[in-house]
Amino acid sequence: MVPKCGGQVEQVEEVEQVEQVEEVEQVEEVQQVEEVEEVEDVEQGEQKLKMIKTEKILHLRSCRGRKLRVVREHYLRERVPCYSGACQAGCAHADGKLLPADLTHYVVPDVGVVLDYLEILELRELQGVVFTQTACQALQHSKGRRQYNRLRNLLKDPRHDCVLFANEFQEYSYCPREKGESQDTWQSRCVYSAAVWFYNHLAGLMDIVMITEDQEAVTRYSSLNSGVYVISVRDYLQNFWPELRAAHELHASVCQALQEKEGEVRERQYAEHLPPEVLEAGIKSGRYVQGTLNVSKHRAQTEASIMTEGFSNKSTDSWCVLVHGDKHRNRAVHGDVVAVELLPKSEWRGKVTALSEGQGAEPSGEDGERKPLPTGRVVGVLQRNWRDFVVTFPPRDGTQPQSRNSQRILAVPWDHRIPKIRISTQQADALQDHRVVVRIDSWESSSLYPNGHSVRVLGRSGELETEVQTILVENCIHAPPFSDAQLRELPVNSPENPWTVDPAQVAQRRDLRESHLVFSIDPQGCEDVDDTLSVRHLAGGTLLELGVHIADVTHFVSEGSLSDLEARSRATTYYLADRRYDMLPAVLSADLCSLLGGVDRYAMSVMWELDARTLAVSRVWYGRTVVRSSYQLHYELAQALLDGDEAAVPELVRLGSEEQEAKRAELVQALETLTHVSRHLRAQRDRGGALELEGLEVRAQLDEEKNITALVPRQPLEVHETVAECMIYANHWVARKIQETFPHQALLRHHPPPRQEFFLQLVDSARARGFTIDTRTNKALADSLDRAADPQDPLVNRLLRMMTTQAMSEALYCSTGAQSLDQFYHYGLALDRYTHFTSPIRRYADVVVHRLLAAAMATKRGVASGKALAGNKGLEETAQHINKKNRAAKRAQKLSTELFQCLYFKERDPQTDRRCVADAVIYSIRDDGVLAFVPEYGVKGPVHLKNREGLVVSVGPDGGCEWQSGSVRRQPDRISTTSGGGTCTFRLFDHVTEVVRLAEEAQERAARRPKLSREEREFSQSKTPNLYSLLEEVRELALTDPDMIPQVCASTA
């Protein structure tokens, strides 16, 4: 195994290969220099490199206790690159990243620091970090692959200012281990020797600071060489980064956790996990089942399941295994990949379908639980999915004596699918009612709870900023301000230095500025205009030319640049109710890439020539263009123009009346033609089975101080559909183009057909109302949904469409090489191929697709496209990453909307404010209540008909509600309560305004505190509304989202 010269990562990978083969735990490492000989000269560029061969002997012990002696050839070289911009020796740095030359010092962490404090070194603010090969290898040995990959990613990421120095391959920094020398001592000697080498190599121009938690090392080395300092992490942070609070807090918190860990011996609480190779063998033989643990939202304490991972995407290959109770869950945390052993059939359980947790601790078979499912216990964790968790510190019990210095507390995670986390802290009092970010360090079998440490404080819970930050952290959304380095990459557009189109670019592009009437239609106040349209007659009116012109983002964002990397890791712009986090810096997203009115912009265009009568496509043109949009319209204005209403077009108000009329007529004509074309396109897709689905879309209208003034359901206008249809058309044609050119490496968006069993609730609910839903094909489904309309109650159809949406699979990005041709189909849109091309400012998928389209055009012209395209594997990885981030973005948006819905109701007194009384419709029947939807506010929530004391709701003759003793009887389409006051029945699609309003009166009369549904509570927040408790309830709502049972399993992806 001869290491290649120069590459940093290769050298580490070489080590990795050995580990993969041996799967060993390293117990002792003895270093012997057997012989030193010059073995070969390797030519690299024009330099002849001298290599010296030695042998390194490792004594290793395998997991089964077998002893191994491994002799590894070890080559030393005179020249090992330093990756410093301050290098005086002309190191060959290939294309690795360089440490800046203008720093005051470089810092070299020793092995212990890398093992225990890696997360501090991960802070982007720290600069000039040199990781030694010694520390890297130690991390891999003692912390495993996940930690090791973390370090490798750090080293690869150009946004982090750190490099790897292959100190053990460097002739002069390499230290053979001496007889009898302990591993720790030898390792710290290696790291120190590397630090000294760096100082000398950079000719003393750069101070080097070695950081270590080993006091002995500080004493031994600190006064050996001037210019090479050896200090503790704490001293380092205090002296060099006094302002970097995050680092100081993290350091204190990790120290605390480490201290606690020492000397902790307790009895076993959980079964030990089996070693990885036993798990692997067991999974192969079929003894264990592998899957991702999904903890129930409704019954987080007891209920979890895994969806087994089949070998293909066919639905029949995967099935659900229940994991019941915390002993069987065996320290696995929501999202972990686990191995499960099935229990004997006699121990199988069913899922509970009641509304609330803890109701009847041991549910009797008929009432609470459904038919038994395969049930198992976790025997090992294959991959931890621990992320940053937001927790609150519990209120302190004053009577409990606590030690002064540090307290161990059980922090309560925001996501209650996550177990409580034990934290040692000195701030337990100060941080009461605060939200804090924590990380889990370990979960020993002797501990009931995982141990963790705090990372940073978000703020007091209930405050808007804290809650928004919580939503971001919980969804792993990291969107800090763009770095200076990234902004320096980008063009400038300022009054002193205005940006203009480059004549050389114009020469290469099709210039549409004079020839085409280009305009945009967006929501009001939109800054990032991705897309514009044009339409005109050709050939004396026999042809129509439709054009879709999209911001040319990839002209400004070249592959691999800092902007590109940052955009990729964000993957999308995040839209929250009151703010957004852009994928691209404003100079691009709101300016140079935005196709604003009246300015020259670069675009990527698709233009179709259509037969003016039949609208059949005769020719398609793809390519780069220069456009100048004439009108920046918003939807309401465009619709008004189409409807012939009096509406002022801002771009025309300054013109004389004659010119204004002519221009207005021209614009209206274009809008009409566009409407005509898109109706035709829509009809075409409808014939293929396109679905019209219903989501919950409610926008919070905010005033300047971010107070909600109203909750506004989205108003559908035809022009929305017109624009959408043109975009769908462009996306479809681009998908065809890139798939045909790159059959194995194009990015598509596919939408698999839903699993039939997900339609059960929809079909049953519709039947309750006398409608038949045919779900065999998308066409049959679309047609039967159209027929399932009650002229008396339009909400019925809306709810059925909502349920259809819920039953749908998720549309996903994929690489064409990873799926077969028939998998490309987009079920919802009824198109054989689809992708995203039209929003490159706010979606990274579109950026990738733009590059693919440009490469396809270059291929057609026979021009090499410069950079090689990502292969199927790389592209599929990108696709999965974007899918994950999109899910996070969606969840974050939903949570923030709910946050503001809450704020809206917080201010209202239900006694006097009519807005608190709303119409609700029952859309699902549960064992002890119903789920209802309030269309006016787009809110869904549970309505309990039975409370914790076992009392049921009874409606009196005056329409008032009371809690009385009685019973609840559930049938497929209805639920009835029977009590002294008689029987009342709630059916699917019943409107339940009264129940919601009067349950509150019942509460007052009964002078008890029955458990109210979220809505009821929301409406009854009157006396002293406390935002904190409201938020807790919103969170509950988010988690009690009424998925159908099979979906609980399906959402494990």
Contact 336, 330 (CB under 8 A): no
CB of 87 or CB of 596, closer to Zn ion:
87
The sign one gets for the Cα dihedral 236, 242, 243, 246 is: positive
Among 656, 636, 655, 658, CA closest to 647: 636
Q: Which stretch binds Zn ion (CB under 5 A): 22-30, 90-98, 854-862, 958-966?
A: 90-98
Min separation Cβ 193 and Zn ion, Å? 16
Token pair, residue 259, equals 């201290």
Kindly determine how many residues on this chain lie close enough to bind Zn ion according to the rule CB under 5 A. Answer: 4
CB of 166 or CB of 1034, closer to Zn ion:
166
Q: State how far the Cα of 650 lies from the Cα of 582, in Å rounded to an integer.
A: 28
CB of 98 or CB of 526, closer to Zn ion:
98
Min separation Cβ 106 and Zn ion, Å? 12
**Per-residue CA distances from 874 to 258, 815, 833 (Å):** 38, 9, 21
Q: x-or-dash pattern for Zn ion, window 907-936, by CB under 5 A?
A: ------------------------------
Q: Which stretch binds Zn ion (CB under 5 A): 78-86, 179-187, 871-879, 979-987?
A: 78-86
Q: State how far the Cα of 36 lies from the Cα of 406, in Å rounded to an integer.
A: 54
What strands, in cross-sheet order, belong to the sheet with 631-634?
510-511, 617-628, 600-611, 543-551, 531-538, 518-522, 631-634
Buried b (16+ CB within 10 A) or exposed e, 351-380: bbbbbbbebeeeeeeeebbeeebbbbbbbb
CB of 93 or CB of 143, closer to Zn ion:
93
Q: State how far the Cα of 124 lies from the Cα of 697, in Å rounded to an integer.
A: 37
Min separation Cβ 202 and Zn ion, Å? 7
Q: State how far the Cα of 367 lies from the Cα of 353, in Å rounded to an integer.
A: 9
Burial of 839 (0-12, 13-18, 19+ CB in 10 A): buried
Q: Which stretch binds Zn ion (CB under 5 A): 82-90, 175-183, 669-677, 718-726?
A: 82-90
Q: State how far the Cα of 632 lies from the Cα of 609, in Å rounded to an integer.
A: 24
Q: Which stretch binds Zn ion (CB under 5 A): 86-94, 230-238, 263-271, 604-612?
A: 86-94
CB of 83 or CB of 904, closer to Zn ion:
83
Q: Which stretch binds Zn ion (CB under 5 A): 85-93, 306-314, 323-331, 460-468?
A: 85-93
Residue 551, helix vs strand vs coil: strand
What strands, in cross-sheet order, belong to the sheet with 105-109?
162-165, 129-132, 105-109, 207-211, 228-231
Q: State how far the Cα of 930 lies from the Cα of 480, in Å rounded to an integer.
A: 42
**Per-residue CA distances from 135 to 31, 200, 224 (Å):** 16, 21, 22
Q: Which stretch binds Zn ion (CB under 5 A): 89-97, 280-288, 569-577, 781-789?
A: 89-97
* Helix residue ranges, H only, 689-751: 718-741
Secondary element (H or E) of residue 474? helix 464-474
CB of 89 or CB of 780, closer to Zn ion:
89
CB of 35 or CB of 46, closer to Zn ion:
46
Min separation Cβ 236 and Zn ion, Å? 24
Question: Residue 306: how many CA atoms within 13 Å on its side-chain side?
Answer: 28
Give, as one character, the DSSP assignment of residue 591: I
CB of 11 or CB of 625, closer to Zn ion:
11
CB of 76 or CB of 411, closer to Zn ion:
76
Q: Which of 36, 68, 89, 724 binds Zn ion (CB under 5 A)?
A: 89
- Residue 91 as a binder of Zn ion (CB under 5 A): the answer is yes
CB of 170 or CB of 816, closer to Zn ion:
170
Q: Please, which residues bridge with residue 953 across strands?
A: 963
Q: Which stretch binds Zn ion (CB under 5 A): 83-91, 456-464, 993-1001, 1034-1042?
A: 83-91
CB of 82 or CB of 306, closer to Zn ion:
82
User: Binding to Zn ion (CB under 5 A): which residues in 609-638?
Assistant: none
Min separation Cβ 86 and Zn ion, Å? 8
Min separation Cβ 228 and Zn ion, Å? 17
Token pair, residue 885, equals 């981030």
Min separation Cβ 50 and Zn ion, Å? 16
- Judged by phi (left if over 0) then psi (alpha if -120 to 50, else beta), residue 404 lies in alpha
What residue type is assigned to position 897 of the chain?
A: T
Contact 271, 452 (CB under 8 A): no
Q: Which of 86, 87, 533, 567 binds Zn ion (CB under 5 A)?
A: 87
Backbone angles phi, psi at 244, to 5 degrees: -85, 80
Min separation Cβ 83 and Zn ion, Å? 8
Q: State how far the Cα of 673 lies from the Cα of 685, in Å rounded to an integer.
A: 19
Q: Which stretch binds Zn ion (CB under 5 A): 79-87, 440-448, 657-665, 894-902?
A: 79-87
Min separation Cβ 205 and Zn ion, Å? 11
Min separation Cβ 151 and Zn ion, Å? 22
Q: x-or-dash pattern for Zn ion, window 852-881, by CB under 5 A?
A: ------------------------------
Min separation Cβ 74 and Zn ion, Å? 22
What residue type is assigned to position 41 of the chain?
A: D
CB of 96 or CB of 935, closer to Zn ion:
96
The sign one gets for the Cα dihedral 125, 128, 134, 137 is: positive
Contact 416, 1039 (CB under 8 A): yes
- Residue 205 as a binder of Zn ion (CB under 5 A): the answer is no
Contact 502, 514 (CB under 8 A): no
CB of 91 or CB of 693, closer to Zn ion:
91
- Residue 82 as a binder of Zn ion (CB under 5 A): the answer is yes
Burial of 153 (0-12, 13-18, 19+ CB in 10 A): exposed
Min separation Cβ 150 and Zn ion, Å? 26
Min separation Cβ 176 and Zn ion, Å? 23
Contact 299, 356 (CB under 8 A): no
CB of 56 or CB of 79, closer to Zn ion:
79
Min separation Cβ 81 and Zn ion, Å? 6
Among 447, 411, 424, CA closest to 330: 447
CB of 92 or CB of 1039, closer to Zn ion:
92
Min separation Cβ 84 and Zn ion, Å? 6
CB of 201 or CB of 737, closer to Zn ion:
201
Q: Which stretch binds Zn ion (CB under 5 A): 32-40, 48-56, 81-89, 528-536?
A: 81-89
Q: Which stretch binds Zn ion (CB under 5 A): 69-77, 84-92, 229-237, 560-568?
A: 84-92
Min separation Cβ 893 and Zn ion, Å? 48
Secondary element (H or E) of residue 895? helix 872-906
- Residue 208 as a binder of Zn ion (CB under 5 A): the answer is no
Min separation Cβ 172 and Zn ion, Å? 13
User: Binding to Zn ion (CB under 5 A): which residues in 675-734?
Assistant: none
Token pair, residue 732, equals 């479809």
Q: State how far the Cα of 480 lies from the Cα of 482, in Å rounded to an integer.
A: 6
Q: For the chain, how many residues are written?
A: 1053
Q: State how far the Cα of 733 lies from the Cα of 725, in Å rounded to an integer.
A: 12
Q: State how far the Cα of 267 lies from the Cα of 258, in Å rounded to an integer.
A: 20
CB of 87 or CB of 208, closer to Zn ion:
87
- Residue 391 as a binder of Zn ion (CB under 5 A): the answer is no
CB of 82 or CB of 257, closer to Zn ion:
82
Min separation Cβ 201 and Zn ion, Å? 6
Binding residues for Zn ion, rule: CB under 5 A, are 82, 87, 89, 91
